[in-house]
A and B are shown apart, each in its own frame.
Chain A
Amino acid sequence: MDAFRALVVDDEAVFLETLVKRLHKRNIDTTGVPSGEEALEIMKKKLFDVVILDVKMPGGMDGIETLREIKKTQPLAEVLLLTGHASVETSIEGMKLGAFDYLLKPIKLEELLTKLAQAFEKKDTHDQKIRSARIKELIRFPGRVLEQVKEEES
């Protein structure tokens, strides 16, 4: 598995801190933020492969709202939802909105790692498909590269 970048969004500070440390130790480039707003902020600057998002965050943006925004900012990032029992329905709604999967709290790290790997694999496959599609396109219409460069500059 390639090294990948993960973002953890959870309002429980100790949980967040510990999880980030544990993922780091497993060679996952992990960033932790305590709220939906900050997650969106950092996602404007940095690309992530997988976002681990707590569905229930009192105060500020809730998980579903954050999910919608994430899908607008980085549509290719896979989102793993962390949920309590009461919010299983919310998570199902989240999956309809494009979340990869959900995990019931309290989570076991092994479980999380498995799901992360699956999510990353999906993202990776997806990315590769996009890349190969682009390459095919480039080969067929080389002129498009210039247009794309212009687009990105503007």
Chain B
Amino acid sequence: MNARAGAFVDLGVISNSGQHLAYVGPYDLKGLNYYQHPWFDDVMSKGVYISNVYMGYRQSPHFIIAVRRQEGLNSWILRATIDPDIFEGIVRSAQVGKTGDAYILDRKGTYQTCPRFNGEILTQSHLNTRVFGTRTTVIEEKNTEGEKKTLYAGRRLKDGKWLLVISQEAAEEMSGLFATKIAEIVIIICGFLAIIFATVFTTRMIIKRLRETDSRMNELNAQLIQSDKLAALGKMAAGVAHEINNPLAVIIQVSGWMEDLLDEEVFQKSSNLEEFKQSIKNIEDHVERARKVVHNMLGYARKMEPRLEDVDVNGTLEQTIDLLKNHAITNNIEITTALSDDLPIIASDQSQLQQVFLNLMTNAIDAIGSEGLIEVTSRQVDSFINVDIRDNGPGIPEDKQKKVFDPFFTTKETGEGTGLGLWVSYDIIAKMGGSIRIKSEVGKGTTFTVAVPAVIPEKK
């Protein structure tokens, strides 16, 4: 029997009077009377008895299992001593990790198996067994320094007489869990960060886009308003110009007639002859002045649809610069060029383009006054040829920048400029499908950018 189970130290049969009738085992226990032993009563009354671990006769820790069997009027008790080493081996298999421990306690907290740490079999454990419930209970305990936490799991065995305790330091037991927990936290935080980052980023992007669109819309609106305004003003100005032209034609004829009459003999004798002549001349001069304004306003180029011819923009710029060279040199103004080499020949109106460049460069020279620099650059931007005419003159304040293309707007002295140059230029370029933009900063200078559509001439 022992060979089979390997757990029994000895076996004995005891009669109902407590007499050890038969015994197999290493100790000579046959003949001992157990009648006085407390477990004897237990087994007699309950039929089964499992003892706590005790030293007993053998002076080594063990426990016994006793079973009563009824045979007719007699009852026999089979008693077995269980080898605590084997028993402990089973319990020890639950001792895991570096700090894991497993042992059994009795009700009073005495070790029934040898714990791995802090104690010996049959010594008192520091654990209060009452804190453990009837089911599996987990309690947590801090050691005296309060640093290490130890977790205890308890389960009642043997009708609550024994308590199987498995303990482990929290740090170790949970280390895996903690690692998982940390990984989880890291992932969640990363996720959150990613979400926050993406949200912030996309929001920023969208806001930036919106702002850009908004400013572009504003610019476009401003341009539309500008061109609408200029078109309306243009119509009005043309109407006014016509109405002025007719009386001018009459005035010049009438004054001419007066001049003719002065040739007659009667007038030749008049003492006021010179006065008359001077007055008539003054009338003619001022009619001429008015005529020029009207002429500029209606600039005959404007009245003609642009003529399409092969135009070399760089060549036109160079020609225009040549025209102004002397004027610029007299005023100590240097004109530099940075012209793109690979501009295409475009279908446009050379004389009108030249008029525009001439207007802009003359303005630049007038703005600088004397001593300064004018930079002329040309380059292709998408389907446009952009020409920048930059001067380092005094610049134009922002409130006036909006007005520069208005007819009769001028910063020049009265009589110096008609205020029609930019207006006419704007109109010419707008009719070609291009645009003129101004960028100016007070104290730094002004740049006019002319964008001419790069229409490739049809092959002839």
Let me know if A109 is at the binding interface, CB within 8 A.
yes
Structural contact, B253 and A19, CB atoms closer than 8 A = yes
Bound complex: CA of A14 vs CA of B254, how far in Å?
Answer: 8
A21 within 8 A of B: yes
Interface positions of B (Cβ within 8 A of A): 238, 241-242, 245-246, 248-254, 256-257, 260, 287, 291, 294-295, 298, 300, 303-304
With both beta carbons as reference points, the residue of chain B lying nearest to A105 in the complex is identified as: B249
A109 touches B242 (CB 8 A): no
Judge whether A14 and B250 touch: CB under 8 Å. Answer: yes
Chain A 7-29 interface 0/1 with B at a Cβ cutoff of 8 Å (1 = within): 00000101100110110010000
**Does A85 sit within 8 A of B, measured CB to CB?**
yes
In the assembled complex, the Cα of A15 lies from the Cα of B257 at a distance in Å of 10
> CB distance B257 to A106 under 8 Å?
no
A14 to B257, CA, bound (A): 11
Q: Known contacts A18-B254, A105-B245: does B303 contact A86 (CB below 8 Å)?
A: yes
Q: Write out the residue numbers on chain B whose beta carbons fall within 8 Å of the beta carbon of A86.
A: 238, 242, 298, 303
Shortest Cβ gap from B268 to chain A (Å): 15
Q: Is the CB of A85 within 8 A of B298?
A: yes
Task: Report 8 cross-chain contacts, Cβ distance below 8 Å, ordered by A residue.
Answer: A18-B256, A22-B253, A22-B256, A84-B246, A85-B303, A88-B304, A89-B303, A109-B256
Minimum Cβ distance to chain B for residue A115 (Å): 15
> Once the chains bind, are B303 and A18 in contact (CB under 8 Å)?
no
Establish whether residues A15 and B249, one from each chain, have CB atoms under 8 Å apart when the complex forms: yes
Residue from A14, A15, A84, A108 within 8 A of B242 (CB atoms): A84
Query: Given A85-B242, A85-B303, A106-B287: A12 and B249 within 8 A (CB)?
Result: yes
Q: How many residues of A contact B (CB 8 A)?
A: 18
Which of B256, B287, B295, B298 is most buried by chain A, counting CB atoms within 10 A of its CB?
Answer: B256
A residues in contact with B250, CB < 8 Å: 12, 14-15, 18
Query: Which residue of A14, A15, A89, A106 is within 8 Å of B291 (Cβ)?
Result: A106
Q: Which residues of B contact A106 (CB under 8 A)?
A: 245, 248-249, 251-253, 287, 291
Q: A107 within 8 Å of B by Cβ?
A: yes
Q: Which residues of A contact B254 (CB under 8 A)?
A: 14, 18
Taking a contact as CB atoms under 8 Å apart, the answer to whether B256 and A12 are in contact is no
Is A85 within 8 A of B241, CB to CB?
A: yes
CB-defined contacts of B246 to chain A, threshold 8 Å: 12, 15, 84, 105
Contacts of B241 in A (CB 8 A): 85
Specify which of B238, B253, B260, B300 is in contact with A88 (CB 8 Å cutoff). B300
Q: Complex: how many Å from CA A14 to CA B220?
A: 50
